[in-house]
Chains A and B, each alone.
Chain A
Amino acid sequence: MSDEKKPTEEQSRRGFIKFWAGILGAIAGAFPVLAGLTMVLDPLRKTGSKGKLVRVTDLKALSNDGVPRVFPVMADRTDAWNKFPEVRIGAVFLRRTDEDIVTAFNVSCPHLGCAVDYSNSSEKPEFFCPCHNSQFELDGKVKNPDSTQSPRGMDSLEVDIQKLEQGEVWINFQNFQPNKPEKIPLG
């Protein structure tokens, strides 16, 4: 019996050492990786803006002909450590269909984010994405759902009615998560 006991003691001693060598080694090895994870995950901290009310143009600059026209959107932009005052942060289609009716669409394709074009080369004018061929009606709805992969229509943006009455086009500029059936603000 005592003969058998000795190796077990030796065994358990070695077992003890193996256990702790494994644990401590793993902790030491994992520590920098796990600590580094915080920085890697930092972007999750950031939330998108709720949208910015920005002046795009004067109402007079927009012909009352229902033809969509692209306008750059100017606003202050923060890029990590930089603040850029009044730079182009995106672009919108503005379309004036009546004296006091202006609709605005973000040019970003709701499919995968390419910039949508306005095209009047086919029989009926339309919005057309030059990447994966999504087509949209001028009111932003999906056209040809069979060949259009975009799960939703173009992203309309709110146009400020009061400002419009004063003759200026102000919109609430926002980007949305692409490729979702519903409009979810980015962030």
Chain B
Amino acid sequence: MKKALDWLNNRTGWRGLLKEALYENIPGGSRWRYIWGSTLTFAFFIQIVTGVILWMAYSPSSQTAWESVYFIQNEMWGGWFIRGMHHYTAQAMIILLVLHTMQVVIDGAYKAPREVNFWFGIGLMAIVMGLGLTGYLLPWDQKGFWATKVATNLVAAVPFVGPDLQKILIGGTEYGHQTLTRFFAIHAGVLPGLMIFFIAGHVYLFRRHGITPKEPLKGKDEGFWPEQILKDAVACLAVLAVILYFVIRHHGAPLSAPADPSEQFSAARPEWYYLFLFQLLKYTSAFWGAIVIPGVLMVVVCLMPFFGKWKLGHRFNLGLLSCLMIGAMLLHWLAINEDANSEHHQHALHDAHEKAERAIILAGAPAGIPSSGAVSLLQKDPKIQGARLFSKHCASCHRYDGHDGTGSGTTVKILLKEGDSIASIAEDRGMTIDEILQKNSLDQDQVKNGIQLKVNFKPSAADLKDFASREWLERLLIHDHYISPEYFGGTKFISGKMSKFLKKLDESDAEDLAKVAATLSAQAQLPYQVEIDAQDTELITKGEELLVDDFACIDCHQFVEPDDEASAPDLTGYGSTEWLTAIIADPAHGRFYGSKNDRMPSFGKDNKLTEIEIGLIVDWLRRDFYEPDEGTNSRAH
């Protein structure tokens, strides 16, 4: 063995190289404060390894980027782990860079003759920030897409060449395939290449000038190998442990919904280490906030080695660095604080989370991701779009489990008009006076005409949650419920024929009416009732007898048998896809409410909604959409 190594040494001189690399003298001995450079090199090593592995599975195009990242994160062995490592190590690098810079400045290691090395360090920091920025886009999710849109629009603020520069960067005027191919090439080729060059230069210059020992020296000299390397290795493992903690805790890295330029993403924020710049742009124009101020500060920082020569230069530099750090932290804190206190932002985050989760569920559904990409999954999903269309078109009258379909809209603002009293409003809205005062944080004596009050929404048509299900119909057939705002209490049918008919029935009929409800509900063929419908054939047949004979519902309603004389809404196929589609398209059709139609608009007939849109609402109301089986937990973030 030794012989072979000797031979190799003779031919290559590897021992000399190794010695050169490892036997650096450290005046005063190894110290913990010298670890930062090594931890950074280690972090960069992790990034190269995990990056190349991710590269093996990543596909940069607007139809495949999100899709391949989804696949990495949710399907591949170790995918989430490697992706998480890459994600959190990137952030660790930023923190380590800041610590390293602080150590260098505090110890005076930036001063002559190490100016150039200091600049190499600044260059490295810029490269790492660039890697973070370009990497953020690569998953092509909503978060990356919108943040990058802002970042690249900032490029356009560069005087004269800005717009052209932006075009070159994003590969044209619109974001798409070539934005991704370019960003990926920059992220995985250009910047890492530059980084290796800079690290080589940085380490070379560091070795040329030697370490800057912290005075007073602690002890006698030691070597880089093994004393300092032992400390470095411990530090690297500690860094790794922190990274792993985050990777495991968050099960990899977040992935929001697929990028969609037509889909507002109000939760758009850059990666946290850019938040201070983001916040700055709220106070200054883009030109100042993104070009001039950061540019000037960069130049000032680069001049620090020269300031260091002045008598009080070092103190000045320490002050300067502290100011920069405090300024950035302050801006960062302002940004976080503002978002935490903004109802709007919290709502947006919730919405983003929901869509991310749903996109991942749909991508993992048996139907899978179509070749046109995942962006259509959410666009065609009844669960997301049905709720949204409902809130936009139906929730001005109807409710869904008390809300507007998307979980909000329970509160509205009204003007306290002449003649209104808070008591009358309270009664109208089904609230107590105290509730109103509390909701508006008002005192009784602050209430006066013209004031705007937040009050509960008052529905004027039925709550359609679980529409046509057994429970929903059981309740409908009880007069007290029928005339409540939950059903027809807000419509003119509160005193209609059906209401009068139900009023004549009493508690003794309840059991039979429940059977009728089961029969009627079976007409809907609701996906979530398929099993009990199939089980209860006996009950359903019994209910049909009651419906047709005992209660004689068919005196007014058509049921199964065609009946031209029916004067009430058709109960054949009640709540089925066909029935619902037809009633939403035209409730004033003779088959439904005819000329007695209250206020329900004819959405289809009047082209207020397209067929596709009505279909989405119908499927959503019937919960006719993909849901994963209980137990298969999603891993969305």
Task: Say which residue of B62, B262, B267 sits within 8 Å of A89 (CB atoms).
Answer: B262
A187: Cβ under 8 A from any B Cβ: yes
> Can you name the residue of chain A whose Cβ is closest to the Cβ of B169?
A43
In the bound complex, how far is the Cα of B609 from the Cα of A58, in angstroms? 8
> Can you name the residue of chain A whose Cβ is closest to the Cβ of B288?
A149
> Can you name the residue of chain B whose Cβ is closest to the Cβ of A167?
B607
- Bitwise, A86-103 to B at CB < 8 A (1) or not (0) is 001111000000000000
With contacts A44-B167, A115-B266, A130-B348 known, what are 17 further pairs, Cβ within 8 A? A43-B170, A43-B178, A44-B164, A73-B262, A79-B176, A88-B262, A88-B379, A89-B261, A91-B264, A111-B286, A112-B154, A117-B266, A131-B278, A132-B278, A132-B281, A151-B285, A177-B163
Instruction: Check A72–B262 contact: CB distance below 8 A.
Output: yes
In the assembled complex, the CB of B249 is this many whole angstroms from the nearest CB of chain A, namely 28
In the bound complex, how far is the Cα of B149 from the Cα of A117, in angstroms? 17
Instruction: Check B348–A178 contact: CB distance below 8 A.
Output: no
Instruction: Check B168–A44 contact: CB distance below 8 A.
Output: yes
Hey, which chain B residues are within 8 Å of A128, CB to CB? Answer: 344
Complex A-B, nearest 7 residue pairs according to Cβ-Cβ distance, in ascending order: A88-B262, A79-B176, A115-B264, A58-B607, A130-B266, A48-B173, A80-B177
Hey, which chain A residues are within 8 Å of B196, CB to CB? Answer: none
Instruction: Check B372–A84 contact: CB distance below 8 A.
Output: yes
Hey, which chain A residues are within 8 Å of B170, CB to CB? Answer: 43
In the bound complex, how far is the Cα of B165 from the Cα of A41, in angstroms? 9
The number of residue pairs between A and B whose CB atoms lie closer than 8 Å in the complex comes to 124
Chain A residues numbered 100-157 whose CB sits less than 8 Å from any CB in chain B = 107, 111-117, 119-121, 123, 128, 130-133, 147, 149, 151
Which chain A residues have a beta carbon within 8 Å of chain B's beta carbons?
40-41, 43-44, 46-48, 58, 60-61, 69-70, 72-73, 79-82, 84, 88-91, 107, 111-117, 119-121, 123, 128, 130-133, 147, 149, 151, 175, 177-179, 186-187
Instruction: Check B348–A121 contact: CB distance below 8 A.
Output: no
Instruction: Check A79–B62 contact: CB distance below 8 A.
Output: yes
In the bound complex, how far is the Cα of B288 from the Cα of A151, in angstroms? 13
Hey, which chain B residues are within 8 Å of A117, CB to CB? Answer: 264, 266, 344
Q: Count the B residues whose beta carbon is within 8 Å of the partner chain — how many?
A: 51
Hey, which chain B residues are within 8 Å of A43, CB to CB? Answer: 167-168, 170-172, 178
In the bound complex, how far is the Cα of B149 from the Cα of A90, in angstroms? 14
Instruction: Check A80–B281 contact: CB distance below 8 A.
Output: no
In the bound complex, how far is the Cα of B177 from the Cα of A161, in angstroms? 36
B215: Cβ under 8 A from any A Cβ: no
With A115-B146, A178-B153 given, is the CB distance from A61 to B607 under 8 Å? yes
With A58-B607, A186-B173 given, is the CB distance from A123 to B452 under 8 Å? yes
Hey, which chain A residues are within 8 Å of B507, CB to CB? Answer: none
User: Would you list 8 pairs from A and B whose C-beta atoms are within 8 A, ordered by A residue?
Assistant: A43-B178, A44-B168, A58-B606, A58-B607, A88-B261, A112-B150, A112-B154, A175-B174
Hey, which chain B residues are within 8 Å of A41, CB to CB? Answer: 168
B479: Cβ under 8 A from any A Cβ: no
B157: Cβ under 8 A from any A Cβ: yes
- Bitwise, B50-66 to A at CB < 8 A (1) or not (0) is 00000000000011000
In the bound complex, how far is the Cα of B413 from the Cα of A44, in angstroms? 51
- Bitwise, B601-616 to A at CB < 8 A (1) or not (0) is 0000011110000000
Hey, which chain A residues are within 8 Å of B260, CB to CB? Answer: 88
- Bitwise, B140-175 to A at CB < 8 A (1) or not (0) is 000000100110011011000001100110111110
B427: Cβ under 8 A from any A Cβ: no
Hey, which chain A residues are within 8 Å of B9, CB to CB? Answer: none
Instruction: Check A179–B156 contact: CB distance below 8 A.
Output: yes
Hey, which chain A residues are within 8 Å of B266, CB to CB? Answer: 115, 117, 130
> Can you name the residue of chain B whose Cβ is closest to the Cβ of A130?
B266
Instruction: Check A114–B149 contact: CB distance below 8 A.
Output: yes
Instruction: Check B150–A82 contact: CB distance below 8 A.
Output: no
> Can you name the residue of chain B whose Cβ is closest to the Cβ of A120?
B413
In the assembled complex, the CB of A170 is this many whole angstroms from the nearest CB of chain B, namely 14
B268: Cβ under 8 A from any A Cβ: yes
B495: Cβ under 8 A from any A Cβ: no
B629: Cβ under 8 A from any A Cβ: no
Instruction: Check B268–A114 contact: CB distance below 8 A.
Output: yes
Instruction: Check A46–B172 contact: CB distance below 8 A.
Output: yes
Task: Say which residue of B269, B344, B379 sits within 8 Å of A119 (CB atoms).
Answer: B344
Task: Say which residue of B262, B267, B285, B609 sits within 8 Å of A91 (CB atoms).
Answer: B262
With A81-B177, A115-B265, A130-B344 given, is the CB distance from A61 to B608 under 8 Å? yes
In the bound complex, how far is the Cα of B172 from the Cα of A40, in angstroms? 11
Instruction: Check B153–A121 contact: CB distance below 8 A.
Output: no
B263: Cβ under 8 A from any A Cβ: yes
